[in-house]
Structure 1
Amino acid sequence: MHYVNSKSILSSKNGMNLYRGCTHGCIYCDSRSEIYNMNHKFEDIEVKKNSLDLLKKELLKRPKAMIGTGAMTDPYIPLERELKYVRKSLELIYRYGFGFTCITKSDLVLRDLDLLKKINEKSKAVVQMTLTTADDDLCKILEPNVCTTSRRVDVLKALNENGIPTVVWLCPILPYINDTEENINNILDYCIDADVHGVLCFGMGLTLRDGNRQYFYEKLDKHFPGLKDRYIKEFGESYSIPSPNERELMEIFKRKTEENGILNDTYEILKYLAEFPQDSIQSKLL
């Protein structure tokens, strides 16, 4: 871990990253890609020391909106247990009447259930959870340093029981690893059981580019001997790595979500996540 001072904390679209880097160890993580110009070891978490002061200043001058985090770094990395930057940011978001959404794989989000409920009562809070495999043993290989899929489903259910809407990211789907009809059916059954609002799926596959490709291949050699050579032969240096089962898997995804009233259109889900309830009582500053 190391500290830096940042010039700003919110993007033009109200995205927020309190940390940079991650220790979850997911073998497919795109955030390792060289394109993001990270000048430190990925596991050496960069903490934006002045982020909370910056957030307070920016919330005071911005129109009410949804504040989002987790697109680059899971906000609920283990370090958050100690530093509590996310929790403190939620306190500010609640105080100044903004909405909140995050993408995570961690059950640590339940620590902040009290604040999520308060925000949701005033405006809107949505938790997005990534699910890649219904097999907990495989999950421990793909995402070794974070809670298992079954635990994440427990989190989704707990959020639903407390009135917090949820969205599942069904990605990535790795060719010859988790791209099976059984896996997709089982994950969707989890989503149905947890009464999620929507499931985001950008196709059945993953993306690879310099930085994350090398790390991914290193892990394939360790856990799936011989599979790296198959990837290189079939996909070369391609950015987009589609599953050969994509058509069948997408049919299952669309049919099962539609039959169970789960939103599955990417545009509509992203619109829902970004929409701030203008008539909410949080339009007044406390």
Structure 2
Amino acid sequence: MHYVTAKHILSAQNGINVYRGCTHGCIYCDSRSTCYQMDHAFEDVAVKANAAELLEDALRRKRRRCMIGTGAMCDPYLPLEKTERLTRRCLEVIDRHGFGVSVLTKSDLILRDLSLLQSINAKARTVVCTTLTTFDEELCRVLEPNVCSTRKRFEMLRTMHEAGIATGVWLCPILPFLNDTEENLRGLLGYCFDAGVSVIVNFGMGVTLRDGDRQYFYRKLDEHFPGMKERYIRAFGSRYSCPSPRHRELTRILQTECRARGVICGAEEAMAYLMRFEDRSAGEQLSLF
């Protein structure tokens, strides 16, 4: 971990990342890709010490309120958040200015900030999402070694739902030859429906691999699944998109089960849902989409 002074914090799409890098150790992480031009070791997380001050200034300049997203590139609830509390400070800024927030995290540390998220939700809107990849906890410990278990993430979502906060799941990646089974998908969907999620984000049953990400992924395949790297190379070569051979079957199951329960799962509709702003302080809804 090291501290940096950032020049800006809010993207053109109203997203923030208060940390850069990650210690979760997920073997498939796209954020390792060289295209993001990280100038430090991935596990040596850069802490944007002035993130809250930058966000305060950015929101003060906004002409109208909207949803602020976090978690797209770096988990806002890395273990170091326990002491750094940068994400919490940014949530306090969001709350103070009456903006909404959409959070994506693999950590149940977010429960620490439940009352703050409820405060935001009372004035605007809070959406909390987590990523689920595998129902098998032993496989989870291999694919995502430093993240809380799938079961704990499910319990976190259920707690958020019971607290009146909208929840969702990013169902990805579905790794070819590893977790692309009907049994795994139905197990994860069971968690989603039992937790009361409103939306499931899925951009296809498979994984994407870029330079930097691919090398790390293959190294971990050699470590944990001997022979699997060669299987990937035979199936996909150096392609960016690596779809599961069961893509159509699994997608059909996802769509059928979600439709039966009224859960959003279309990619465009899902993303619009996550970033839809509501002005609850005025007793009316304002949609930016």
Bin of the TM-score, shorter chain as denominator length: over 0.9
Rounded Cα–Cα distance in structure 1 between residues aligned with 2:25 and 2:283: 38
SS in structure 2 at match of 1:10:
coil
Q: Equivalent residue for 1:149?
A: 150
Q: Equivalent residue for 2:171?
A: 170
- On the 8 A contact 2:168/2:198 being kept in 1, the answer is yes
How much has 1:80 moved relative to structure 2? 0.4
Letter in 1 for 2:171: L
Q: Equivalent residue for 1:245?
A: 246
- Superposition pairs of residues 211-222 of structure 1, within 5 angstroms: 211-222=212-223
How much has 1:55 moved relative to structure 2? 0.8
Q: Equivalent residue for 2:128?
A: 127
- On the 8 A contact 1:205/1:240 being kept in 2, the answer is yes
How much has 1:260 moved relative to structure 2? 1.3
SS in structure 2 at match of 1:206:
strand
How much has 1:192 moved relative to structure 2? 0.8
Q: Equivalent residue for 1:82?
A: 83
How much has 1:278 moved relative to structure 2? 3.9
* TM-score normalised by L of structure 2: 0.96
Query: Would you identify which runs of 4 or more consecutive aligned residues in structure 1 move more than 3 Å?
Result: 278-283
Q: Equivalent residue for 1:57?
A: 57
Is structure 2 residue 261 aligned with structure 1 residue 260? yes
How much has 1:282 moved relative to structure 2? 9.6
Letter in 2 for 1:34: T
Point out the more displaced range, 1-10 or 204-213. 1-10
How much has 1:157 moved relative to structure 2? 0.5
- On the 8 A contact 1:96/1:282 being kept in 2, the answer is no
Letter in 2 for 1:132: T
Letter in 1 for 2:47: V
How much has 1:49 moved relative to structure 2? 1.5
Q: Equivalent residue for 2:7?
A: 7
How much has 1:90 moved relative to structure 2? 0.7
List per-residue Cα deviations over 1:84-113 (Å, max 9, x = no partner): 000111111101110011111100010100
How much has 1:279 moved relative to structure 2? 5.5
- On the 8 A contact 1:139/1:148 being kept in 2, the answer is yes
Q: How many residues align?
A: 283
- On the 8 A contact 1:4/1:48 being kept in 2, the answer is yes
SS in structure 2 at match of 1:213:
helix
SS in structure 2 at match of 1:167:
strand
SS in structure 2 at match of 1:182:
helix
**Runs of 5+ consecutive residues of structure 2 not aligned to the other structure:** 285-289
Is structure 2 residue 202 aligned with structure 1 residue 201? yes
Rounded Cα–Cα distance in structure 1 between residues aligned with 2:261 and 2:222: 39
Rounded Cα–Cα distance in structure 2 between residues aligned with 1:268 and 1:244: 25
How much has 1:151 moved relative to structure 2? 0.6
Q: Equivalent residue for 1:269?
A: 270
How much has 1:50 moved relative to structure 2? 1.3
- On the 8 A contact 2:123/2:280 being kept in 1, the answer is no
Percent of residue pairs identical = 55
How much has 1:280 moved relative to structure 2? 3.6
SS in structure 2 at match of 1:129:
strand
Rounded Cα–Cα distance in structure 2 between residues aligned with 1:103 and 1:24: 14
Rounded Cα–Cα distance in structure 1 between residues aligned with 2:204 and 2:279: 33
Rounded Cα–Cα distance in structure 1 between residues aligned with 2:141 and 2:272: 32
How much has 1:150 moved relative to structure 2? 0.6
How much has 1:208 moved relative to structure 2? 0.3
RMSD: 1.2
Rounded Cα–Cα distance in structure 1 between residues aligned with 2:160 and 2:278: 20
- On the 8 A contact 2:49/2:86 being kept in 1, the answer is no
- On the 8 A contact 2:14/2:69 being kept in 1, the answer is yes
Rounded Cα–Cα distance in structure 2 between residues aligned with 1:279 and 1:182: 40
Q: Equivalent residue for 1:24?
A: 24
